[in-house]
Amino acid sequence: MLVVQRVLTRWSKVGRGAAAATLRGSLPDRVPLPACTGDVVFHDVIASPWSERLRELSLPATAAGLRIASGGRVSRAAVFASYPRDRRAVPLFTLAPGRRARYRANFRFSGHSLEWYYEQWTVTLAHDVPLDGEFHFDVDDRVRLYP
């Protein structure tokens, strides 16, 4: 089974101060999986407020800003964020059975109003192994979001 788990933290510009950043930094980047079956599972956890969704995927699939193809090929997919703007498809790694990977990214979005909000994603991929443990691949695409 291939598991893709995204832990997403979302905050507004009001939450940009040091106290809020300390709280965000204390949130877990992996959470226990609910019972699941299927060849490919996407577990999406939103940390603000805590909610989660579990669904099965068919390959190739695009989930959590990643495109996952057969054979475990993983590439970054386009994300329609206000910043960074140059998110384009880029091959990242091939996840063979028995391997674990982590992908981290952050974004600034603007909705229909002019209010900004920010997201940080920690995506853990595990192919026939538990989510916990050391990573064979660790890609950090986080950028500085504040001018």
How many distinct structural domains can be found in the chain?
1
Asked if residue 147 belongs to a domain, the reply is: no
The upper half-sphere exposure of residue 71, i.e. CA atoms within 13 Å in the direction of its Cβ, equals 4
Asked if residue 48 belongs to a domain, the reply is: yes
The C-alpha atoms of residue 131 and residue 29 are separated, in whole angstroms, by 11
Asked if residue 114 belongs to a domain, the reply is: yes
pLDDT of residue 94: 94
pLDDT tens-digit readout, 58-82: 888 888 888 999 888 999 888 777 7
Task: Please give the residue range of the domain that contains residue 15.
Answer: 2-140
22 SS3 class: helix
User: Hunting for tokens 């970054």 — which residue is that?
Assistant: 76
Token digits for 88? 């384009």
pTM (predicted TM-score):
0.81
pLDDT tens-digit readout, 15-64: 666 666 666 666 667 777 777 777 888 888 887 655 667 777 788 888 88
Burial of residue 37 (number of CB atoms within 10 Å: 0-12, 13-18, 19+):
exposed
| Strand ranges, E, within the chain | 2-12, 40-47, 50-56, 61-63, 66-68, 73-76, 90-94, 99-110, 116-127, 137-140
Pairing of strands 73-76, 66-68: antiparallel
pLDDT tens-digit readout, 86-115: 667 889 999 999 999 999 988 877 766 667
The C-alpha atoms of residue 138 and residue 82 are separated, in whole angstroms, by 25
Distance separating the N- and C-terminal Cα atoms of the chain: 41
Asked if residue 96 belongs to a domain, the reply is: yes
Asked if residue 146 belongs to a domain, the reply is: no
Asked if residue 49 belongs to a domain, the reply is: yes
CA nearest neighbour of 131 among 9, 53, 36, 30: 30
Asked if residue 145 belongs to a domain, the reply is: no
Asked if residue 55 belongs to a domain, the reply is: yes
